[in-house]
Amino acid sequence: MIKVSNLHKSFGKVKAVRGISFEVRNGEITGLLGPNGAGKTTTLRMLYSLLPPDEGEIRIDGLDPTKDAMEIKRTLGVVPDSRGLYTRMSARENIAYFGKLHAMSAEDIHTRVQELVETLDMADFIERRTEGFSQGQRVKVAIARAMVHKPQTVLLDEPSNGLDVMSTRALRRYILSLKEAGHSVVLSTHIMQEVAALCDRIIIIADGRIAADGSAHELLEKSGCDSLEDAFVRLIGSEEGLLA
Amino acid sequence: MNGLITVYKKEVRENLRDRRSLFNSVLLGPILFPILFIGLAYFASSKQQESVEKVLEVPVVGEEHAPNLVSFLEQQGVIIQTAPEDPEAMVRSQEAQVIIRIPETFTEQWRTGKPAVIELIADPSRRESNIPMQRVKGLLNAYGAQIGQLRLQLRGVSPTLRTPIMVKDIDLSTPQSRGMLVMIMLPYVLMITAFTGGMHLAIDTTAGEKERKSLEPLLINPVPRWQIMLGKMCATATYAFTSLVLTLIAFRFAFPLLPTGALGVDLNLSGAAIGGILLAIAPVVILAAAMLTTLAALAKSLREAQSYMGLVFLIPMIPSLIFMVNPMKPETWMMAIPMFSQNLLIGEFVRGESVSTLWLGLSLGSTLILGLGFAAIAASLFNRPRVVFSN
């Protein structure tokens, strides 16, 4: 359960987020949809306590990221915008490193990595150094290391960026399986099909503000459009930034 | 502390797999410096020997004015060359290092018993001409002394009357303290190694992590940021310290290979001296790791960080160079100056002197305070968004 109210964040003169409020319910996939530069990444960074908000309040399962940062980091699994891996370490070592940072025991890490290798289909490359990995392989390792400590809530920032069709399909299947396993998922994207295919609820962000909030069906009704794409354009008021 | 240790272990292990950091820590200090050292020492001593033993060839202008002097020089093994037209030009163009000119007035002055002037043309700013010049001067003085003695004896005066005092050298330097080249160079090499040994890690673990885009995921883990930073700094310090240990061991084996006969020096680096040096330089390692990490973390990119490192070289160099140009007697207050005191202390340890606890304590304390200050700055850096996000 995530509750965000009246969030603000500026970088110098640039106002990245200006008054965002929304709720994420347990066991649902919530999509933050918006053009590039709308403030999605900044909002997520405030959720996982990397940035402190200038104003406003965040509660994740009752915890405040500005005060209980360590506790929140233990309950969250985050695949951020930057997904750099350590190229001189194998995929397994990359994942295990994060497990150790979560103070997991070597045994727990071993069993958990085996599970992740199966669910994410990583057997082919788990022992290889990550130098020269494909985008798809890199995303899998980034997801695995974010999930190593079995977080209840999962935040994904543009997870399908740079993936080919096959990898994207595999990723979507995985996100749906998270929901089936009872996780709450927040996912930011600028791709319409993605939210249409995955999300229970869609939060449209434009220019640092919430433009609309609801299920796909509700958004269509609200905008009076037939397709989600038209609804999206109508709701954010322009086509700018959509074709990226 | 679990986070700190995890980060530390990972950085140490990961960088063992990196050829560049191994080159910096293992190859540069421990192998390259001793080889350079031995090579230089051999070169210097063979060069010196060569110019001391080489047959002197000296052009003489105005040979005819002092035939006895010239035949004395020939007896001493000097090869007299014919006089050039323009001796000054010849020295300037480095065709000859020393030229003797005997002016016409020589004969007249000689006969009347006045000091007869002989001119020696040379350029002492060219260091290679120093030895031939001294040899020629020595020969001319010897000739003068011989004639002076004969003149006194002819007049029935004892030549010893001309020597009212006699200076006798009593040499108190130990064999170790005479190894000047080593004495000056070793502190310098070690101070630089304290910096270079961890340099690559300092960049790789901060600016490198940012460039690879792995810093943000790392910071999402439930580990306080200062622990992450400190873990990285400890890894940097470990590499630098290992590099120093290897360098000292390498020098220990290299010293017996030095051409001691030529330098008149018998040098060795005892286990106790190595231990003392490591203790004295340990806080410099911490200071260096903290400074390097701070700089590299503040850089926007890997390239920027690398260009800063060139400047960092100057930090240990300046105190060492001051000491090199202006060797001074160690005094207690100097021990409070970080990075300068180590130069003095390393010198004392190499000379085999016992170092006072007060000196060592002052040096350790002052450097450690500065080092921990920098470490505190570095540890807080990951709290700044500007350091975490490069864009």
Give, to the nearest 10 degrees, the angle between helix B130-154 and helix B33-53.
40
A17 vs chain B: nearest CA distance in angstroms? 16
Three-state DSSP at B84 gives: coil
Which pLDDT does position B174 carry in this prediction? 55
Which pLDDT does position B172 carry in this prediction? 64
Q: Which residues does chain A have within 8 Å of residue B385's beta carbon, measured at their own beta carbons?
A: 11, 51
CA distance A13 to B83: 83
Which pLDDT does position B260 carry in this prediction? 58
Closest CA to B6 of B285, B221, B294, B209: B221
Amino acid in position B228: I
Instruction: Give the one of B220, B223, B224 whose C-beta lies nearest to A50's C-beta.
Output: B220
Closest CA in chain A for residue B384: A51
Q: Which tokens hold the place of A157? A: 């920032």
Which residue ranges does chain B devote to CATH 3.40.1710.10? 54-162
pLDDT in tens, A4-48: 999 999 988 889 999 999 999 999 999 999 888 889 999 999 999
Which pLDDT does position A244 carry in this prediction? 40
B13 vs chain A: nearest CA distance in angstroms? 9
The label of the residue with tokens 């001409």 reads: B129
Q: Which residues does chain B have within 8 Å of residue A50's beta carbon, measured at their own beta carbons?
A: 216, 219-220, 388
3-state secondary structure chain A: CEEEEEEEEEECCEEEEEEEEEEECCCCEEEEECCCCCCHHHHHHHHCCCCCCCEEEEEECCECCCCCHHHHHHHEEEECCCCCCCCCCEHHHHHHHHHHHCCCCHHHHHHHHHHHHHHHCCCCCCCCECCCCCHHHHHHHHHHHHHCCCCCEEEEECCCCCCCHHHHHHHHHHHHHHHHCCCEEEEEECCHHHHHHHCCEEEEEECCEEEEEECHHHHHHHHCCCCHHHHHHHHHCCCCCCCC
Q: Do B220 and A102 touch (CB under 8 A)?
A: no
CA distance B243 to A130: 29
Annotation: CATH topology of B54-162 = abc type-2 transporter like fold (3.40.1710)
Closest CA in chain A for residue B18: A88
Q: Do A100 and B213 touch (CB under 8 A)?
A: no
**A74, A100, A155: which to substitute to probe chain B, counting the most B Cβ within 10 Å?**
A100
Q: Do B217 and A146 touch (CB under 8 A)?
A: yes
**A82, A129, A156: which to substitute to probe chain B, counting the most B Cβ within 10 Å?**
A82
Secondary element (H or E) of residue B99: strand B98-101
Write down all domains in chain A, each with its CATH number in brackets.
Answer: 2-83+152-236 (3.40.50.300)
Q: Do B217 and A103 touch (CB under 8 A)?
A: no
One DSSP character per residue, B365-389 reads: HHHHHHHHHHHHHHHHHTTSHHHH-
Tens-binned pLDDT, residue by residue, of chain A (244 aa): 899 999 999 988 889 999 999 999 999 999 999 888 889 999 999 999 989 999 999 999 999 998 998 999 999 999 998 889 999 999 999 999 999 999 999 999 999 999 999 999 999 999 999 999 999 999 999 999 999 999 999 999 999 888 888 889 999 999 999 999 999 999 998 888 888 889 999 999 988 999 889 888 888 888 888 887 788 888 877 665 454 4
Indicate the pTM of the whole model. Answer: 0.80
- ipTM score: 0.92
CA distance B177 to B171: 11
B103 burial level (CB within 10 Å; 0-12, 13-18, 19+): middle
Q: Which residues does chain A have within 8 Å of residue B7's beta carbon, measured at their own beta carbons?
A: 101
Could you count the other beta carbons within 10 Å of the beta carbon of residue A233? 17
Q: Which stretches of chain B drop beneath a pLDDT of 70?
A: 47-51, 171-183, 259-268, 390-391
Q: Which residues does chain A have within 8 Å of residue B222's beta carbon, measured at their own beta carbons?
A: 70-71, 73-74, 101-103
Closest CA to A149 of A113, A175, A124: A113
Residue B265, C-beta contacts closer than 8 angstroms, at least 6 positions apart: B175, B176, B178, B179, B182, B258
Between CA A116 and CA A121, with CA A117 as vertex, the angle to 5 degrees is: 115
Q: Which residues does chain B have within 8 Å of residue A73's beta carbon, measured at their own beta carbons?
A: 220-222
Q: Do B223 and A101 touch (CB under 8 A)?
A: yes
